[in-house]
Amino acid sequence: MNKPINDSINSSENENTPRVFSKQETADIAEAAVKFASDSGSIKVSISSWWGAGQRWSRNKTSMSSDQRDVMVKIESKKNGGWGEAQTNQIDLDSLKGVIGIAEYYATESADNRALDRMMEKAFWNSPGSNVWSDKTFDPNIMKFVSAIEKVTKMASDDSLLSAGYVGTTGNTAFVYARDEWGRVSTDWGEVTEATCSMTVRHPKGLGSGWAARTSFDISKISIDDIANKAYDKCKASLDPVRIEPGRYTAILEPQAVGELLIGLLWSLKRIFPEQGHKGSPILGGYNQEVNRHYSKLGWKIVDERINLYHDPEDPFVGTHKSDMVGKVNLITNGILTTIFNSYTHEVNEMSELNPSTFRTSFRMDGTDTSTEEMIRGTRKGILITKLAQSHLIDPQSLLFTGVTRDGLWLIENGKISKAVRNFRWIESPMFIFNNIDQIGIEEPISSYWWARGKLIPDFQNSLNNRVVPTMKVRDFNFSSTIDAI
């Protein structure tokens, strides 16, 4: 960076560079940037700062220890119907002036391209932002993880097994300044922390594998020892798997596997995709030619009536009591679809009132007190699945996905786990699975995809990835073929 804006915002070359900027510091950057903007049109300045630290190890040896930080300034300009965007990671005055100029140039050049739906601004409103923060997670002393990692690697090494994993924390702050073409100003502020621990224990000859992980905004809610023991135990139990025939089996899906299917279902609740010309999903019931729009199944029963899925920022496992994000959103209640995610562009074009039900990446599905052991005892023949991986959509209209099982798969016979089995490729739709449930078990927090640097883009509704999901016992899960990978 060049000369900083003021003494409270330091250069990256300075050893005193803050790990993240405060609300006042980011507001100062925004104020300095908008002075270079023209008076016509609208301008939006997003400033985000990110810090991350972590330890990674493989084959029982530490392979990486990091302490990283970054900043992003994103400018969006709208002039005479045109739209332009530019960004930089420099916060000196010359860079801010330059990036404003680039965004306004693009806006001017695209002024005739009025068909772009993205040019429609969101309705003018003050977003509550988010405040999901843990000082324990923001503790910079990454060395505190070393003793736990050493314990994991020694446990695996003593048993001639290999361990690999990652423990990391991040902190992210973001400030958004928006001025519309009438001169009205709104601001957003958010701060988020997140921690993750993911661990795999494997046999050196590929004869077995175990995995466990957890994500939370609060590192104190993650027990590295518990994760290590779970991964180790699963590896030992999965050794020497046998190959069995593919087909449809009763399946007991551990929470991580259920969470993978839920993400596929959640993406189908985004109404922006079908209404911009995509074929849509089973969530959309059909096409109304009179209004030139797909109609939805909002208010219809779409899954088993025992399913309740919601986002609640007050949930101590999903959010925190400090959160002031948009309130609780019920997605599915007693199997009935109660919310379809809107986009800002859709709200302005099609709705008379603002409905801030934008896409959420954190959620909870209610469970029961039925244990996994009880499900196993009631199963004559079935498969116990640790997790589903590498899933991708192959048919959007039926929500048909394919993927593979990973890191622990066992055959259940006559109410007992009889043997470890080789992994399968699966082909299945969440709509089929969530309408074919025998039992719902105990819910527990799971591991989520860790956005890390992706959080540099301020998106307060998507700031959290904490998910709580139950175990499920389902009928006729489709395993299409066996695979050799563990």
Could you please report the per-residue DSSP string of 426-445?
EEE-HHHHTTSEEEEEEEEE
pLDDT digit string, tens, across residues 42-74: 899 989 888 888 889 999 988 888 888 889 899
Backbone angles phi, psi at 58, to 5 degrees: -150, 150
Do the beta carbons of residue 358 and residue 342 sit within 8 Å? Answer: yes
Q: In whole angstroms, how large is the CA radius of gyration of the chain?
A: 25
DSSP state of 243: P
Neighbours of 225 (CB within 10 A): 11
- Beta bridge partner(s), residue 412: 382, 417
Which residues is 242 bridged to in the sheet?
421
pLDDT tens per residue across span 449-473: 654 444 544 555 555 677 899 999 9
What is the token pair recorded at 270? 């985004």
To the nearest 10°, report the CA torsion of 303, 312, 315, 305.
-20
34 vs 358: CA distance, rounded Å: 27
DSSP string covering 315-361: -TTTS-TT--SS--EEEEETTEE---B--HHHHHHH-SS-------S
Question: Is the Cβ–Cβ distance between 428 and 478 less than 8 Å?
Answer: yes
**Kind of pairing, strands 42-58 and 162-179?**
antiparallel
How far apart are alpha carbons 421 and 180 in whole angstroms?
60
d(CA 304, CA 282): 15
Q: How many CB atoms lie within 10 A of CB 36?
A: 16
Tokens 């077995």 locate to 208
Task: Find the length of the chain.
Answer: 486
Cβ proximity of 49 and 71 under 8 Å = yes
* Sign of the Cα pseudo-torsion (250, 256, 257, 258, in order): positive
Cα separation of 200 and 166, whole Å?
9
Angle, alpha carbons 429-433-436 (nearest 5°): 145
Give the phi and the psi of residue 470 in degrees, each rounded to 5: -90, 165
What is the pLDDT at residue 355? 46
What CA–CA distance (Å, rounded) separates 337 from 282?
12
**DSSP element (H, E) containing 30:** helix 23-34
Paired sense of beta strands 284-288 and 424-428, if any:
unpaired
- The answer to whether the CB of 174 falls within 8 A of the CB of 46 is yes
Cα distances from 233 to residues 52, 77, 414, in angstroms, run 30, 55, 23
pLDDT at 334: 97
d(CA 365, CA 472): 11
- Residue 396 to residue 386: CA distance in whole angstroms: 26
The answer to whether the CB of 152 falls within 8 A of the CB of 165 is: yes
Residue with structure tokens 């009880």? 374
- Eight-state DSSP code of residue 269: T
Residue 357: what pLDDT? Answer: 58
Q: Confirm whether pTM is higher than 0.85.
A: no
Cβ-in-10-Å burial (0-12, 13-18, 19+) of 312 comes to buried
Tell me the pLDDT of the chain (486 aa) as tens digits.
334 444 444 334 444 567 899 999 999 999 999 999 988 888 999 898 888 888 899 999 888 888 888 898 999 998 877 888 999 999 999 999 999 999 999 988 887 655 444 434 443 444 455 567 888 888 766 667 777 888 889 999 999 999 999 998 888 888 889 888 888 888 888 788 888 899 999 999 989 999 999 988 888 888 888 999 999 999 999 999 999 999 999 999 999 999 999 988 887 777 654 444 455 555 655 666 676 665 667 788 999 999 999 887 667 665 543 444 456 788 899 999 988 776 554 444 444 344 455 667 778 999 999 999 999 999 999 999 999 999 998 987 788 999 999 999 999 999 999 999 999 999 999 999 999 999 999 999 898 765 444 454 455 555 567 789 999 999 999 999 999 877
Helices (H), 56-214: 93-109, 146-158
- The candidate with the shortest Cα–Cα distance to 195, out of 173, 213, 174, is 213
CB distance 8 to 18 below 8 Å? no
Taking CA atoms, 26 is separated from 23, 71, 174, 323, in Å, by 5, 10, 7, 20
301 secondary structure, DSSP code: B
Print burial letters for 127-163: b (CB count within 10 Å at least 16), e (below 16). Answer: bbbbbbbbeebbeeebeebeebbeebbebbeeeebbb
Q: What is the 3-state secondary structure (H, E, C) of 92-121?
A: CHHHHHHHHHHHHHHHHHCCCCCCCHHHCC
